[in-house]
Amino acid sequence: MKFRPRITHTRHEGLAEFLSNIGGRYDFLQLGVILALLSIGFLFIYMTGENFSPEYAMRVVGRQFWWVLIGGGAWFIMANIDYRELKVVSWIFYAVCIVLLILVLEIGVTSQGATRWLNVPGGLRLQPSEFTKLALVMTISAALTTMNFNLNRFFHLLLIIILTAVPFLLIMKEPDLGSAIILVPVSLTLIFIGGLKWRYILLGTVVFGVVFGAVVINEYKEYHPFLKPYQKKRIITFLNPEYDLQGSGQNQNQARLAVGSGGLFGKGIGKGTLNNLGFLPRTVSNNDFIFSVIAEETGFAGCMTLLILYSLLFYTILRSALIAADDFGKYLGGGIAAIFMVHVYVNMGMSIGLTPITGLSLPLVSYGGSFIVVSMTCLGIMQSIYRLGMAAGPD
């Protein structure tokens, strides 16, 4: 008879401890920034959808809501587990992503000449290349923190290069130049944090320069070109903004005009003429060029607000990485920071002519399910790193 109440009491204690863990030591600054960016995203996804019809706008927002709901669940799970457990499953996650990338090439959905998606139940589409970014960060972080792993040994460094090259080549095959290229700065960030000696960094820079030069010559002479014709046109348009303004250069030119026409406070939400009249391509105005829409309708003030929010997001990610309880957490934080920074820079850069058009989303703002789920998962991991780092206290 005494045994039963004791179990009940223990269960009550366990429940209280679980609820206490859920409510304690969250990075509420990061949580507030996430909610603010998601709110901005919903607002402008709806406004761009209204260019078609209110019904279409609600349908698109509804899809985004479901992806955010899935991402929120992933955030909650990641935030409340010990991130160090991810080290065990990182290689499995990486292998699953490679299998999915291969499946995309075999049975994937093709849209606008690219095969990047897999159909999933519920009428949604999964883009494996987005999940591969996180898988690569987790796997390299796990490798760097494996006992006796030394980044300055040739075969150990070669392993990191192979881990990056395999998904890079598969994603390029889709083709998805933007998602493939982002794997490179992410890997380089982790290699730099991992302590690769400067002589190897310099040697790698020279080798990269030679290889890059050979690729440029190969593409120019068209011996065995890797890039698709539309990808070449995007690069040429980036290098020469006045090239083919009625063709390949039209989207970027209209995006720049939209940003410039916003002025100090914009034309008003929902009143952007370039957006409403369809000069910005309506099929991607809620994704690739959503920053142009925000700039036209909210002006410099809106752009600065967005930049401040992203600066705060980067600050919270880097802060969590610095207070991480172990090196695995530091590497995860560095890699996740690289993913977000590259996405923000490239997406905003496309709208003002700083970067070629590559189709990278604006984190937490652009329409698109897979990257929303990945972004929320990444930020959930950062919450776990923050909570355990705060609990550990200073060394």
The residue extents of the domains of the chain are 29-392
pLDDT the model gives residue 120: 81
pLDDT the model gives residue 354: 86
Residue with tokens 């002006």: 299
Q: Which two structure tokens, joined as six digits, stand for 282?
A: 């309506």
Q: Where would I find the H helices in 174-289? A: 177-193, 198-221, 229-239, 250-261, 273-276
Q: Where would I find the H helices in the chain? A: 3-23, 28-49, 54-79, 86-107, 128-144, 154-173, 177-193, 198-221, 229-239, 250-261, 273-276, 290-322, 327-352, 369-392
Q: Which two structure tokens, joined as six digits, stand for 336?
A: 């996740």
For the chain, state the CA radius of gyration: 23
Write the burial class of residue 292 (CB in 10 Å: 0-12 exposed, 13-18 middle, 19+ buried).
buried
Q: Which residues pair with 125 in a beta bridge?
A: 119
Quote the mean pLDDT of the chain. Answer: 87
pLDDT the model gives residue 243: 64
Residue with tokens 């045994």: 3
Mention every residue, 6+ apart, whose C-beta is less than 8 A from residue 388.
82, 83, 84, 324, 325, 329
Q: What Å distances lie between residue 308 and 36, 292, 304, 318, CA to CA?
A: 11, 17, 6, 15
pLDDT the model gives residue 272: 86
**pLDDT tens-digit profile, the chain (395 residues):** 444 444 444 445 555 555 555 655 889 999 999 999 999 999 999 999 888 888 989 999 999 999 999 999 999 999 999 999 999 999 999 999 999 999 999 998 887 778 888 988 777 789 999 999 999 999 999 999 998 999 999 899 999 999 999 999 999 998 888 899 999 999 999 999 999 988 888 888 888 888 878 877 877 777 777 777 767 776 777 666 666 666 666 777 888 888 989 999 999 998 888 888 777 777 778 898 999 999 999 999 999 999 999 999 999 999 999 999 899 999 999 999 999 999 999 999 988 888 888 888 999 999 988 999 999 999 999 999 999 998 776 55
Q: Decide: helix, strand or coil at residue 240.
A: coil
Is 196:151 a contact under the CB 8 Å cutoff? yes
Q: Give φ, ψ of 278 to 5 degrees.
A: 85, 10
Mention every residue, 6+ apart, whose C-beta is less than 8 A from residue 180.
129, 167, 168, 169, 171, 172
pLDDT the model gives residue 3: 41
Q: What Å distances lie between residue 377 and 72, 115, 176, 207, 298, CA to CA?
A: 8, 24, 22, 35, 29
Residues 34, 78: Cα–Cα separation, whole Å: 15
Q: Where would I find the H helices in 86-153? A: 86-107, 128-144
Q: At what angle do helices 86-107 and 154-173 cross, to 10 degrees?
A: 40
Q: Which bin fits 278, alpha (ψ -120 to 50), beta or left (φ > 0)? A: left
pLDDT the model gives residue 253: 80
pTM of the model: 0.89
